[in-house]
Structure 1
């Protein structure tokens, strides 16, 4: 069997859905090398900082998102009416949960936990589809119940780093179903070959994007939704007035311009090389299993006694992300961000001292 199903009633205490990687690096004032958060290092670039800073002279006026919305739309070959700018992709999950009343909401796990948390907070029951390590955490369309009218899946998926084929996800689309695809890390995949961001022919498809990971803007909060006009209108009605401030709008316009898209593509190719190096070095650790093939700027690792390994790494100056907070995973899992080769070498030296 490829999957397990797990109906929940909103009172599941086995996983902390609100635990995120930033919690690993903000405690006790420790000076740790951050392998827990998936924001690209060395960002935001100076040109983007300057662009955002220049927007501050316009703070007296109410935010006007029309230019940013047009730029995002052009980046994905869609009309502006099919774009909604949000305070990060996380806000989009809240809006989707508020704007929909699903009869059977399904979240495909392991994945980013905020979609399920938002659905629960809005009073919806959630049915989990749990993909298995034995099948590479890969989805078969038949895994999703036929009567599901609201489905959420990540691509590439956090924390597994699995990139699902676009044709597989397209098979899930059908009239009467909202299919939410979290593409927060898609711009870290060279060429974005499995993206559905530009597909306008599939019914009910909603694609979410984040600009905070590749561009180092987690503190600014900017993302967007791509969907049919009526879906965007419904989400906009659930959104407060002026939800995205002027600096974030400036960032969205800048990061979706052709020159920035080209820069992100080069960064994605660099990340792919760094990930390949990390994978090659991890092959020297027989006690470590790696989920693969990996496509995102992080890896999911399994090691016996991972909680103890994580604490030993912390004492040696490295923060990695515990993964037992993701439904479908247990105490033997860790997520590690891809970094440059020098950081990787130092991390692996620490890992050699930490794995029993």
Structure 2
């Protein structure tokens, strides 16, 4: 019988369990998008996960969404990540870098540049900047000839990720960022080959995945998706057709996994499970919603055919989450006020479960 604690082989990786640490923005990087010793400790503390997926890592300066996030587009950034991946591997773990291009979810005060997007349509809401939240600016719509540069930024960051010691990468195709913006029917108003029909709206995602797979191998490449997700004002029409077509194209590339968020109804998600032939990572609850993933939700989706289950917020305050899930120990709550404040408080200050003497 398959359980959370049954081993799984993902490409060349032998995973001791089916628990995935989901990517979570923690804004602890140093100036210049450098990873830090604290980040090495943070990820190493959680190396008992079958797989760690890092916070979103920008593939270019213009791809940076939030201040305080790390990058993978300079030699200095690559060097700064090596102690992180070394620490995780020393503790017996496996780690993928999530490559996240923010697209229109950015600000000139963060990058020094006007954000870009598929169309000149601003995100809904305020974006984080060095001086605090500000209204999302109107992005500059990419010319058709410029699109391949941003496709290739994912592949270049993936090459750098392997140089930095990562075991693979996950493309962030969810939550209203650049790939998600191209999939959208209201952020993407293009009339060229990248807009309009589902076949055109999936093109950017498919090209980014294909370029990354060519760069580092499909067995080292995954993608995260949030079908019908409401983030940053993104809307998607023709969701079953859109994601059915996308998964068919991604299956031809042979990606290692698709990482789905529970942003639509279960029937649609199950249809995607049937379409997708390779490993499925399922995040069973709405990201940043009222519930956190627990054992009940994990077991439910394993029973529905998911191969791996991702846990987000539960990993923040529980570096030993795998053991707590295995033995039924309480899951400690995290202090939400420390999520994005920087520093080690609320980052390295959570301990493994202390048994009574």
**What TM-score results when the alignment is normalised by the length of structure 1?**
0.29
Specify which structure has the bigger relative contact order, considering alpha-carbon pairs within 8 angstroms and separated by 6 or more residues.
1
**What TM-score results when the alignment is normalised by the length of structure 2?**
0.29
